[in-house]
Amino acid sequence: MIHFIIRRILIAIPTLLVISFIIFAILDLAPNDPTGNLPMTVPAEVREKIRESLGLGQPMHVRFGKWMVQFFVNEPLNILQEGFGITIGDAENRTRILSWATRSPVVDLIIQRTPQTLWVVGLSYLFGILIAIPIGIISAYKQYSWFDQVGTFITMVGFSIPTFFTGMVAIIIFSVQLRWFPMIYDTTLEINSWENFVLQVKQMFMPVAVLALYNASQLSRFMRASILDNLNLDYVRTARAKGRSEKVVLLIHVLRNSLIPVVTLIALGIPTIFSGAIITEQIFRVNGLGQLLIIAIEGADIPLVQTLTFLFAVLIVVFNLIADVIYGILDPRIRYD
Amino acid sequence: MPSQTPVLQVENIATRFHTQDGLVHAVNGVSFELKKGELLGVVGESGSGKSVTMMTLLKLLPMPPAEIYAGTAKFEGQDLIQLNLDQLRKVRGGKIGFIFQDPMTSLNPVLTIGYQLAEPMREHLGMSRREARQRSAELLDLVGIPLAESRLNDYPHQFSGGMRQRVMIAIALACDPQVLIADEPTTALDVTIQAQILDIIKRLREELGMAIIWITHDLGVIAGIADRVAVMYSGFIVEEAPVDELYGNPKHPYTRGLLKTLPNLKGKRAKRLESISGQPPSLNNIPASCPFAPRCPHALARCLQENPALVNRKNNHKVACWWEPDSGKNT
């Protein structure tokens, strides 16, 4: 297993390098002008100067090389210094990846935005899982019962209606009409009193609920199908022939087998916590990573887009590896040699 | 060896399935009894209702679509068919052990052999984990698995087909059952492994003295081990007799046909093996006439009008047929 993990990490390195280059190349080849949003009165020479000051005067491979050094060397060193107080090398003249739009370091922006995303999207993912697994189990075990019929209908609706629609409906009903929940997520809210905590729960409720419904719909259908696949297998009959109770048959024999693909799917889905809720964050005005990416794209803030996109790629590669490892732990038939 | 007291008395069991194409009558009133220490062979072609009959006894069929709509099965003074699930669970795996046909799929792939083997003992005998583990090792040893102790931590995929079937036998025997139901336990195995499994069952039967119901479609296997054989066709028992009587003096045309399909080792290889022409009838309706009549070389006019009941001709030789083999050479 250790060898497998090391080998996979070694393979991941060239993969990620290629991905980073492809992202860089695509962004560079795209028709794009960082001065495009400036007023028309700014003369052409000034625009040219601005472009040069952003580093655009240099050829592409030089800029890519600089980004690589900044991302893989300077930024980790900076995190070491800021986070742990360990200074390595020349900290004064170290260049960091700067956002074109705000001129602040990209990584700092990302660190600022991450907690909101983790709270809102992460919680919705967690709730989605917690709702989906029992629903999937009961639906499958009592197939075609009223519980299954209702559950299957709701999950089908939840799965097929996009979150930007359910989100809008939720805002109109609960914020505009009923005024139960705030429409805009307030990041500056500090949780230092019970009232503020209640406010925080209130402002998180709608985005979390909308996303959790969507995640749960997808996952519970998968869970149900996985249990149904196993319920009619011979080993289930064997367990019953031993005199095991239905609870043991379902929760030990069937569930252990059914969870293998589900847990893998959950692990593979974790990167989408960071990236996938782009639209939902936009609708509920949660200023998380998804919204940051949208703003960066709209403002042609190439360094920010490049860095964010690459980080999402890293997460996907890492969680693919984690999913494979989990698969190996859950299923004794899988051997990584 | 078999005594006269029956451990299991099955009376008029009938099971049908509700399918999209209508009802399928898989078992249509089967009665038999199993005496203490006896080995009853049940033979018949695929779809004749052998497995369904036995699974009906322990309600191991998925219900729905299956429905047991008639019959009783007396075991230890109670009717298995009337028991609720909790009462039945005490019988399953405890007093009646079950071995299934396909050892490759009958074990749970993600649980260890030790866990799966200990389950019936922990369920029925209330053993602690350690006691069950020790007994599990003994059981594996009993069915001839070397290094039993260390193999308890292995998973099913680390065992071959024959080894897995031995594990299944060990599971079925774990609680010293009075009755062992073996549903084609050797069908999925190759011939050498079949012989080994047969030897194990024969040996354990002598050592433990349980009654066995052995389901098979292999007449050769059953001839060597059974005390009594029941032949099933279309969800009916059509003939039932002590093993020598059945093989030496078959009375039902179907049994005769089956025996003719066997190769004979004695004498010259005279002719091609015979087959029974035609197909078994559809099971969508309970036949009002003899279900074998369309394929029967001796069918009488009466066979097409009335379904014969299983009657005792003599010496416990029971046949369900209107035709008498000894009366009149040709009909």
> CB-CB: which of B85, B93, B105 is closest to A235?
B105
Question: For residues B107 and B117, what is the distance between their CA atoms, to the nearest angstrom?
Answer: 10
- Smallest CA–CA distance, residue A234 to chain B, in Å, is 5
Mean pLDDT of chain B: 82
Contact B171 A238 (CB under 8 A): yes
Range with lowest mean pLDDT among A105-119, A276-290, B232-246? A276-290
Distance CA B7, CA B76 (A): 7
B157 neighbourhood in chain A, CB within 8 Å: 332-333
Q: Which of B84, B110, B175 to mutate to test the interface with A (most CBs of A within 10 A)?
A: B110
What is the mean predicted confidence (pLDDT) over B60-74? 83
Q: Closest chain B residue to A230 measured between Cα atoms?
A: B108
Distance CA B20, CA B99 (A): 30
- Total-model pTM: 0.80
- At residue A114, the pLDDT reads 86
- B107–A238: do the CB atoms touch at under 8 Å? yes
Give pLDDT, residue A20. Answer: 92
Backbone angles phi, psi at B269, to 5 degrees: -80, 90
Distance from CA of B157 to the nearest CA of A (A): 7
Nearest to B142 by CA among B193, B200, B94: B200
Assign B87 a pLDDT band (cuts: 50, 70, 90): confident
Query: Across B65-210, where does the E strand assignment appear?
Result: 66-75, 78-79, 96-99, 179-183
The band of A337, judged by pLDDT with boundaries at 50, 70 and 90, is low
Q: Which amino acid is residue A121, in one-letter code?
A: V
- The answer to whether residue A156 scores a pLDDT higher than 60 is yes
Chain segment A252-308, per-residue pLDDT in tens: 889 989 988 898 889 888 888 877 577 788 888 888 888 888 888 888 888 889 899
Tokens of B262: 């066997």
As a dihedral over the C-alpha atoms of residue A325, residue A326, residue A328, residue A330, rounded to 10 degrees, the angle is: 170
- pLDDT exceeding 70 applies to what percent of chain A? 99
How would you classify the pairing of strands B311-314 and B96-99? unpaired
Amino acid making up residue A37? N
Between chains, do A237 and B60 touch, taking CB under 8 Å as contact? Answer: yes
Residue B51 has a pLDDT of: 87
Q: Which residue of A has its CA nearest to B170?
A: A242
Closest residue in A to B100 (Cα–Cα): A238
pLDDT above 90: residue A130: yes
pLDDT at A80: 82
3-state secondary structure chain A: CHHHHHHHHHHHHHHHHHHHHHHHHHHHHCCCCCCCCCCCCCCHHHHHHHHHHCCCCCCHHHHHHHHHHHHHHHHHHHHHHHHHCCCCCCCCCCCCCECCCCCCEHHHHHHHHHHHHHHHHHHHHHHHHHHHHHHHHHHHHCCCCHHHHHHHHHHHHHHHCCHHHHHHHHHHHHHHHCCCCCCCCCCCCCCCCHHHHHHHHHHHHHHHHHHHHHHHHHHHHHHHHHHHHHHCCHHHHHHHHCCCCHHHHHHHHHHHHHHHHHHHHHHHHCHHHHHCCHHHHHHCCCCCHHHHHHHHHHCCCHHHHHHHHHHHHHHHHHHHHHHHHHHHHHCCCCCCC
Task: Provide the 3-class DSSP secondary structure of residue B149.
Answer: helix
The pairing of strands B6-19 and B22-35 is: antiparallel
Which of B93, B105, B155 lies at the smallest CB-CB distance from A242?
B93
Are A238 and B111 within 8 A, CB to CB? no
Q: Which residue of A has its CA nearest to B175?
A: A242
Indicate whether B72 pLDDT > 90.
no
Mean pLDDT, residues B301-320 taken together: 78
A253–B111 C-beta distance less than 8 A: yes
Q: Report angle CA B64, B68, B74 to the nearest 5 degrees.
A: 135
- The average pLDDT across A218-236 equals 90
User: Across the interface, do A240 and B60 touch by the CB < 8 Å criterion?
Assistant: yes
Chain B residue numbers with beta carbons less than 8 Å from the beta carbon of A327 are none
Looking at per-residue pLDDT, the higher value among B275 and A222 belongs to: A222
Q: Which residue of B has its CA nearest to A232?
A: B62
Residues paired with residue B35 on neighbouring β-strands, in sequence order: B6
State whether A243 and B93 contact (CB < 8 Å). yes
